[in-house]
Amino acid sequence: MTDTASAPQRPRVKLKPKANARAIRHGFPWVYANELVTDRRTRKLAPGTLAVLEDEAMRPLGLVSVNPDSKIIGRMLDRNPEAQIDQAWFEARLSRAQEMRTQLYDAPFYRLVHAEADGLPGIVIDRFGDSCVVQPNAAWAEAHLEALTAALATVTGAEVILKNASGRTRGLEGLDDVNATLQGETPDAPVPVQMNGATYMADLTGGQKTGLFFDQRENHAFAARLVAPGARVLDVFSHVGGFGLAMLAAGAAEATCVDGSAAALDLAGQGAAASGWQDRFTARQGDAFDVLAALGSEGAQFDVVICDPPAFAPSKNALEAGLRAYERVAKLAAPLVAPGGYLGLCSCSHAADLTRFRNASARGIGKAGRRGQLIHTGYAGPDHPQMPQLAESGYLKAVFFRLD
């Protein structure tokens, strides 16, 4: 679908008098449902419809996509209310995004588009060499998928473009969960990705999210700096071995990866084998909390322990329960760290800000009878830029402690 409507033909939607129009003018990209005048005409707009957003004085603020079925009823696409959302528009946004990544990374393996922060609200694109995986997590992106795909192929030269429809966000937008191959042939084997001296195997069609978590790249590198020759390391909630393989590359004598997914651990093992470290790699499948408790009962000790769980607090309603879960992870993990060793704890919950997460982690360490120095705080890499006006874009936090 290509946007061919001119500004006078587009529907117009208006902020309520008490809505914060100033925040929109200053760059906030969302309009919540309780901020917009939702008369019968607005409620009848199809999800993904493009409209001109006006303030209460009927002054245009920009071009938004509208989804009456979503709590985020409007997403700012362009400050120019007359902008045409076509292939050329997408190419301009994608080219700007790729320009920065090309400067930052030697190889084309990175997050190419980080949604609002790259001017493409609700769209995530990860690049794996000649393949790209697109997550169109907003109704307007789904409606313009054809133009987006064509632009992506033009800008990147990608031979394979896949649509990943997993994740709770699409459900909140009223979208389906059906994956698709948008261009090229569906890959039948994992894609090897070189990062931090290790080889990771990314399953672009059957893995979690887009197949690999590029956001932890810099935190993997920091964890690798904590590894002394002969170190024993533990990577809990390891997925495809993110931290474990990076620490093996740094000279760890052995790495144990723990995850609930047998498929993810198999990919981690393939990555270790591709790097020539299969004899130093161990996988342990099971519920992470149960495995941490079992390792504690066994008296196991490691020089570096990293825990990178899923989002325990994906929303404000889940915040308190999520913080308790993060505290529990720290309490179970801390006894496994040898004296003078290191504990890294991560959170990808945007609802749990850094202060709350750090405090929950410190409480857990204290309840385990350990004390430690906070030596480093990490975030997502620069291919996951933050939008200063949108706290959700800075979701990832990692805190590293040295324990007594």
254-259: strand order across its sheet = 281-285, 254-259, 232-236, 302-307, 337-347, 397-403, 372-378
Q: What's the pLDDT score for residue 190?
A: 95
Mark whether 125 and 274 lie in a shared domain. Answer: no
Domain boundary among 183, 214, 230: 183
Region 377-384: mean pLDDT is: 97
CATH code for position 301: 3.40.50.150
To the nearest 10°, the Cα dihedral for 235, 398, 334, 361? -140
Mark whether 198 and 337 lie in a shared domain. Answer: yes
207 inside domain? yes
Mark whether 46 and 143 lie in a shared domain. Answer: no
User: Which token pair is 68?
Assistant: 């009456």
- Please list the alpha-helical segments (H only) found in 275-383: 288-298, 319-333, 354-367
Mark whether 211 and 152 lie in a shared domain. Answer: no
Mark whether 269 and 340 lie in a shared domain. Answer: yes
Domain boundary among 78, 101, 131: 78
The string of pLDDT tens digits covering residues 134-172 is 999 999 999 999 999 999 999 999 999 999 998 788 998
19 inside domain? yes
- CB 37 within 8 Å of CB 14: yes
123-128: strand order across its sheet = 109-114, 123-128, 131-136, 160-163, 180-183
351 inside domain? yes
Domain boundary among 133, 160, 183: 183
Mark whether 396 and 265 lie in a shared domain. Answer: yes
2 inside domain? no
CATH code for position 161: 3.30.750.80
Mark whether 172 and 293 lie in a shared domain. Answer: no
The string of pLDDT tens digits covering residues 320-377 is 999 999 999 999 999 999 999 999 999 999 899 999 999 999 999 999 999 999 999 9
Q: What's the pLDDT score for residue 95?
A: 98
Mark whether 93 and 222 lie in a shared domain. Answer: no
C-alpha dist (Å) from residue 308 to 206, 235, 330, 400, 404: 20, 8, 11, 12, 22
User: Which token pair is 196?
Assistant: 């931090």
3-class SS at 19?
A: coil
pLDDT tier, 208 (very low <50, low <70, confident <90, very high otherwise)? confident
Mark whether 144 and 254 lie in a shared domain. Answer: no
The string of pLDDT tens digits covering residues 75-99 is 999 999 999 999 999 999 999 999 9
Q: How many domains does the chain have?
A: 3
3-class SS at 342?
A: strand
Tell which wins on pLDDT, 11 or 210: 11
Mark whether 57 and 129 lie in a shared domain. Answer: no
> Has 348 been annotated as catalytic?
yes
User: Which token pair is 129?
Assistant: 């060499």
Give the residues across from 237 on adjacent strands. Answer: none
364 inside domain? yes
Show the CA angle centred on residue 380, arms to residues 132 and 209, nearest 5°. 40
Mark whether 98 and 134 lie in a shared domain. Answer: yes
CATH code for position 13: 2.30.130.10
The string of pLDDT tens digits covering residues 168-207 is 889 989 999 999 999 999 999 999 999 999 999 999 998 7
3-class SS at 164?
A: coil
Q: Which of 167, 177, 170 is nearest to 70 (CA)?
A: 170
Q: Which domain holds residue 95?
A: 87-183
Q: Which of 132, 257, 346, 348 is catalytic?
A: 348
45 inside domain? yes
Mark whether 199 and 334 lie in a shared domain. Answer: yes
C-alpha dist (Å) from residue 136 to 73, 141, 173, 180, 367: 16, 5, 10, 12, 42
106 inside domain? yes
3-class SS at 259?
A: strand
1 inside domain? no
C-alpha dist (Å) from residue 121 to 137, 232, 311: 9, 42, 21
Q: What is the DSSP string of 80-115?
A: STT---SHHHHHHHHHHHHHHHHHH-SSSEEEEEEG
Percent of the chain with pLDDT strictly greater than 70: 98
Q: What is the DSSP string of 113-137?
A: EEGGGGT-TTEEEEEETTEEEEEE-
Q: Above 70 in pLDDT, residue 1?
A: no
